Amino acid sequence: MSDANPLGTLTPLDATACCGDGCCDDAATAEITHAQLDSITAAVQHRYGNLAENAADRAADPSRRGASDAFYTEDQRAAITSEAAGASAGCGNPVGIADARPGETVLDLGSGGGIDCFLAAREVGDDGFVIGIDMTPRMIELSRKNAADLQTGNIVFKLGRIESIPQPDNTVDLVISNCVIALSEDKDRVFSEVLRILKPGGRFVISDMVTDSPLPEEVRASATEWVACVGGAAVMSEYLGLIADTGFTGIEVLSDEPSRPNATDWQSSLKNLTLRAFKPVE
Ligand SMILES: C[S@@+](CC[C@H](N)C(=O)[O-])C[C@H]1O[C@@H](n2cnc3c(N)ncnc32)[C@H](O)[C@@H]1O
């Protein structure tokens, strides 16, 4: 995949860029420059690098803990560090319904501060293993610090891209992801990679932003909307078709709630989708 933005020059980020409800603040986006906007990769790394740096401040302020408060139970929040909660930027709770089992290997695409990895780690136990993949160096640093603070021994966080997952074929029982694939320009490659690394019969459970209908062109070309998981959100029927075309079976929509329930414009088309699918047993 190329780092060049296929949409041409991105319009600048504004201070309200956000992935998931209430996950952003001015400091996260204010100092972006045009030089940093030469690719979607750079814009995403910039935005989530700043989110990682602001995680502690966000955790201390209930008005800025949108995703962790919205999607996770009190018991789940009590099991993670406050910085993992502060960095949380998902649009669902895939681990809550993925039914990770003791001894399984779980891989999280776009692990951020590690929230879903830490929850999966306690489910798979000492005989299992969790791998978090993220392309933003500051997020990887934060997740490793969170793992050290939690003294979690069955997790590794790797710097890498979900379009080229640093993991051997047929080695993972469960792939999870939370509001990340919408940020990728190359979704069919991501799904191919998920199929490659899953063991036969393995499953993936993901939450992601999708839409009911195509987004306006200016929204798709806006860096602000792209880093908010909106500009790159696919039409849900096409997204499910892509997963089926990749070769997955048993595709099941587990929930598809409106992302912006009070919106009356194009934003009313946005949905928080959670789904499960399986790699065929062969
Ligand atoms: C919206 S955040 C979600 C983080 C985490 N899943 C959560 O629920 O808090 C998106 C994360 O995905 C990472 N990311 C985005 N695109 C990526 C890609 N193509 N490859 C690897 N990581 C990516 C970002 O760096 C960021 O940490």
- DSSP structural state of residue 220: H
Q: Which residues contact 34 (CB under 8 A, 6 or more apart)?
A: 12
Averaged pLDDT, groups of 10, the chain, 282 residues long: 40 41 41 54 94 92 79 92 93 95 98 97 97 98 97 96 98 98 96 98 98 95 92 97 98 96 95 98 87
How far apart (Å, rounded) are the C-alpha atoms in residues 112 and 122?
18
Q: In the prediction, which pLDDT does 39 show?
A: 86
Contact in structure between 215 and 269 (CB atoms under 8 Å) = yes
Q: In the prediction, which pLDDT does 44 show?
A: 94
Length of the chain: 282
Please give the angle made by the CA atoms of 255, 259 and 263, to the nearest 5 degrees: 135
Q: Which residues contact 133 (CB under 8 A, 6 or more apart)?
A: 107, 108, 109, 110, 111, 157, 158, 160, 161, 162, 165, 166, 167
Q: Please state the atom number of ligand 1 nearest to the C-alpha of residue 186.
A: 19
Ligand 1 touching residue 157 (CB < 6 A)? no
Nearest to 160 by CA among 180, 182, 134: 134
Instruction: Name which residue sits closest to atom 12 of ligand 1, judged by CA.
Output: 110
Q: In the prediction, which pLDDT does 38 show?
A: 59
Ligand 1 touching residue 230 (CB < 6 A)? no
First to last CA, the chain: 29
Ligand 1 touching residue 180 (CB < 6 A)? yes
Per-residue pLDDT tens over the stretch 218-248: 999 898 999 999 999 999 999 999 999 999 9
Q: Tell me the pairing of strands 270-278 and 249-258.
A: antiparallel
How far apart (Å, rounded) are the C-alpha atoms in residues 277 and 203?
6
List of domains in the chain: 93-278 (3.40.50.150)
Residue-wise over 123-158: b if at least 16 C-beta within 10 A, else e?
Answer: bbeeebbbbbbbbbebbbebbebbbeebebebbebe
